[in-house]
Structures are given as structure tokens and as C-alpha cells.
A and B are shown apart, each in its own frame.
Chain A
Amino acid sequence: MKDDPILDVLNDLLNYDEILACMVARLNMISVMPDQERFDPNVMQLWDIIKRAMDDVFGVIREYSQAGLGEIEFRLQDYEVLFYVFPDTENALVAIVPALANKGLIEIEMENTRREILDLISEQESQTNTITT
């Protein structure tokens, strides 16, 4: 997808060495995702199981987002999957990082990215007219 500011933000996040993969997703749908070629190949090998586990977590996010759920993370083999929920939505910024990564810096980058995306969503809302039947 060309000219997508949210994709640009995710591509910037992916520039950090310890972010092995990232995306904006919701239950059963990856909404915005950088080119998978940029993801760590080891993560891709585990993708099927990560995807299934992600969908289960999104079921929890769906239930508790309105109650103020902010973040969820789980460890799977040598990786941690971080979910930064967009408030009051079913969507989250998802990143896969090494299990032994320095989480302090990653948390700051994730929070900055979440805020940037929230700003972009607000901008989009004021500009977009949707047409459906």
C-alpha cells in the first residue's frame, strides 16, 4: 500500500534492531504491516503459531479494551510478543522482540509509536468519508 503514514511509522519502528516484526492488527485481521521481507526470518518460521496465539490474545483485548486494558505481552519460545492496545478499540500495535531484549528502550519506542498512530487515526477520522452498502 503506497502513501500510508501508519505504514511509515511501523517501518520506522522496525528500524530498531530488537524489533523483529511489527504490525497493527485486530482479531482475525492484520490491518497494516510492513514488508515481511524486513521481518526476522526466524520469526517467520514460527509465524503460524504466533498468529494463532495472537488471535487468542485479541479475543482478550476485545473483551477488556473498553475496561482500560493497555498492554499485554506473552513469551513464546525465544520471543516476546507485545501488544499495545489503542484505547477503547479492538486494535493493537504488535511487536515481536527477543525474549532477552532490553525492554526499557523498547517500551519507550512502542509507546511513542502508539501515540503517533493514534494521532494519525484522529487525522484520518476528520478527513475520511466511507462509502459502503
Chain B
Amino acid sequence: MTEWIWLVIALPALGTVFLHFFGRRIGEPYAGWIASATIGSSFVIGLIAAVPFLRGEAHAETVYLFDWIPALGAHAELLWDPLSALMVLVVSGVGTLIHVYSIGYMHGDERFGRFFTYMNLFATSMLTLVLANNFAVLFLGWELVGLCSYLLISFWFTRPAAAAAGKKAFIVNRIGDFGFMIALMLVFTTFGTLSYSQVLENPGELLGAGTATAVGLLFLVGAAGKSAQIPLYVWLPDAMEGPTPVSALIHAATMVTAGVFVVARTAPIYALSETASVAVATVGAFTALLAATIAIAQRDIKRVLAYSTISQLGYMFVGVGSAAYVAGMFHLMTHAFFKALLFLGAGSVIHAMADEQNMNKMGGLFGKMKITGWTMAIATLAIAGIPPLAGFWSKDEILGTAFEKGGFYYLLWAIGLLTALLTAFYMTRMFILTFLGKPRWAEGVHPHESPRTMTVPLMVLAALSVLGGLVNTPFRLGLEHFLEPAFEGVELAHAPEGALLWILAAVSVLAGVVGILMAAALYLGPEERRERLLGQIRRPWFAMENAYWVDQMYGRTIVIPGKKLSIWAAFTFDNGVIDGIVNGVGVLVQRLAAALRPLQTGLVRNYALVLAAGVVGLVVWFLSSGGL
């Protein structure tokens, strides 16, 4: 089956091309079903090809397709190992559910066919990224994912905010790519090839510790762009301008996981540099905390989830930055389940509320939308880290490993723990404001449960959010055994064992429970008490609500000065100075010509003569300077 693994990419690619030309004619709902079928087939193929890994009897294989850029050692070549297998399954599995859901969600959109063209392209790109066997193909997928985010975020391009958000996503990602590209330059200069097989086999042979640190930090810059970490996370909250299934795809299955994946993929390089690894974990921890505090005060349901994604990605960075690659990938997987569920559930709510996203105008929806409500409740508990749901196992493994590493990592553990409390708080707050309490709906809104195409994916994801964590528990480390071959030669960090394990687990569960109870007390309790308590922390609350004005700060320190520089360069310097000199010389020559009027005969042949004389003079000069 492995030699057919390219079909995983080719099928959605074919879907993209087909729907590009015929999507409009095919129309609703078949365009959506075709797109779902292609990505669904990718999942099935991936599953069949992964069976040998599950049995633990296969090893990594590369599949050569054709030469791409020979001078860089970059062929169109795929790598099928447990890590890419896991990513393929998550991307295509969750992706398929989101595709199916979109058939219902995008009902009635005049560019229905085009939407699925882009969705299939998104899947194609992400699958290329994870299946690459060299950094050039990785970069191909990496950039195409950026393209797709651009296309889908600005899908409703007649809305200026959507168009601007799409552009912002692409450009901020490109800033990250700047670092990524320099990392690739370093890798190529050091190894003379971009092929994983040569670079990652035994990087220490050619890569000194200093260069390894540089490469690791530069990959981190790229990863921070794609995975929305400090300081490049600002594009992700705006990305919700796209249709909600797009947010689900970006936040859960594709795109943002790319950064985490790259760190895991290049683990042999990070293994050479403690500095780079600590940097990854530190960025992750602080991003997790920062984003969680912002999520607390948001009113827009999708914004809460957006900041929650940033925060959860932070956990994954802590994981892979602590050399707990399995834990990081584990959280990537469980997060894909419950975050896809949360976004799709939010979409279901928004759908029901006639495109209302402000939670202050929701409330009391539980009775009206039972399936959405229940599944969202499950997702909330899963992300809050309540056992035995998926999020508990993966988050706890990351925190446990950080604690076990000790030293500086104690701090990261503490930050992670605090974030866990905040996470439980803001998620419970979101759930209460949306589903419980009295309805605060606008007039003319009649909430209703969503159609089957939307609720079935919700239920599947809810099941995965409950059971997904069981693949890797302290009792049975299934995922770890599965992934281990992919990290051969890399020393993996582990969670503690014995009593400490249970104490740490108890502490983090406690944090989650406290968060939930605090939110419940605040938002289910009397309104007047809430007003009073929030009034006491009005200022910090206001800052959190406005995301600490980071966007505005970037605007003032980068965008506006940049524009001013550009205006100065274009109009003052280029038009004024440089072209001024050019034209000045022209005028000078004319004046000179006027003074030498008698010589000016107006005959072209005289000018030609002068030119020829000049040339002769120059020839003589060149020859004489040559010592002839």
C-alpha cells in the first residue's frame, strides 16, 4: 500500500482541479460530497497504509515520484513513517468531518462549489506538508497552506474585514517564513541537500551545536508564524472572518498544527540544541498563558475559541520543546478532535442564531439545540482537562514531562497549570453564556437544531473527544509505541512515574475543577454579584478584552512607519532625488548645448560623429590602461 501513498495527496488535488472547472455546474450539494469523498478516500488509504505501523512490524519508507529541483537534492518524494501517518490520519479524518459539515453550513452560498475547491486544496496542501521527505516539499505544502488560508479567510471578499484578514494571515505567515527560509539556507549550506534522509539521519555529524541552535531558533520563527505563537499569533483571531468550517479546518486539522509538526519532524536537530528546545517550550508556555487571559474576556464566541487555539498550541510547543515529542503530537491529535468540535458547534450556534456571534445575545440555547449543546459540553470538559476525556491525558502528559525535567521547566509547568485553570474558566464561561441562563436573543431570532450533515460530524467528534485520549494513557502507552520509531536516535522525555504522576494529575484536575466552579459561580450566580466583582477588576478586564492592544501596537510601530518609509522612498527619494539627478543632468546637457550653439547643427550625423569620437577616445583609454 505504501507505494500508493501519493494517492493521499493526489485525490484531493484531483478534487480541487475538477471542482475548479465544474464545481459551479455541479452545484449544491454534490460538489460538497465529491470534495468529502476525495478527502475521505485519503483517510481510508492512510488508514490501510498505517496498519503495518499499528502492528509494529513496519519501518519508514520513502516513495520517490519524480525529480523536482535536482540542484537542491529536492525530489518529489514522500516519507511514510509513523509521524506522517498520524498526521495524515488526523488531517484527513478530521478534515473529512469538516467537509461533510460544510455541506450543511454553506447551504445557499452562491460560491458553494468554489468553497469546496479551496477546502480540497487546503487538504492537499496540508497532506503534502506532512508527507514530504525533504524540506523543499515541506515548504511547498507549508506555503500552499498559507495560500489556502488566504483564499478561505477572505472567502467572503466583498466584506473588507474578510479581505484584510486573509491578507494579514498570509503576510504574518510570510514574516515567519523569512526565518524558515534562512533555516533552509543554513541546512542546505551545511548538508548540501534538503533531503530528510541525509539531513535528519545523523545531523550531529555535520551540524555543530551553534548552527543547530541557529537552525532550531529559525525554524521556531517559522513555526511561530504558522502555529500562531508569540509574537506572530495576531493573524489567527482575525482568521475567523472566514466561514466557520474554515476556522475549524485551520484551528484543528490543518495549518496551525504545521509548526508543531515541523519541530517534531526536525527533532534530531533540536536534540542537538538545548537552547533551541528551551526557546520553543518557553515561547509555548508564555503564549499559552497570554492567549488564555485574552480568551477570558472575549464576547465573540469564535474569538474565545481562536485565543483558546493559540493557548492550546502553546501547550504543544511546551511538549515538543521539552523533548516530549509524543506528548506534543498526542495533544495535537486530541486538540484536533475537541477544537474541531468546538468550532463546528459554534458554527451550529451561529447558524441557529442567524449569524449572531456575540455571546451576550445568546443564552438558553441548550433546550433548543440538544445535540449541539451536549457535544459542546463534552468538548468543554475535554479541553478543560477533566478525566477521562481526551484533553486530560494529553495535557497532563505535557505538564508532567515539564515537571519531570525540573529546573527552568518548573516555571513552565507552573504557567501551564495556571493556564489550565484559566482554560477551564473561559470555556465554562463560554458554555454558560451560550447555552445556559435566560435567552438574550435579538428579536426575530428563532434558534433551531442544525441539519444532519452538521450534527453527525459533531457526534463523531464528540465520541473522539471522549475516547481519543485512551490511545496513550499511563496504563497503556499505545501512541508512544506507535510513534517511537519516528524518533529513533532522539532521546524522548517522559512523564514521571509512580506516586508523583498521580499527585501531578490530581493537581491539574483540581485546577480544571476550580476553573469550572469559579466560572459557574460567577456566571450562573446573581448578575449583580458578577457586575460587582468584574467592576473591581475593570481595568485589567478591559485590557484583556482588547487583547492588550497588541494589534494596535504592531500597527503603530511597524505598519505605519513602514508605510511612511515606503512613501518617502517612492516619492521623495526615488522621484525627487534619483530621478531629479537624472533629469538635472539632462537639463545641464541642454544648457551646455545652448552655450555651444554654433556647434549644434541639428544633424543627426554630427551627433553620431561626436559619439564615435567619444567611443574612439574610450578605446584608446582602455588600451592604454592595459599597458599596450
Tell whether A and B belong to one assembly: no
> CB within 8 Å of B: which residues of A?
none
> CB within 8 Å of A: which residues of B?
none
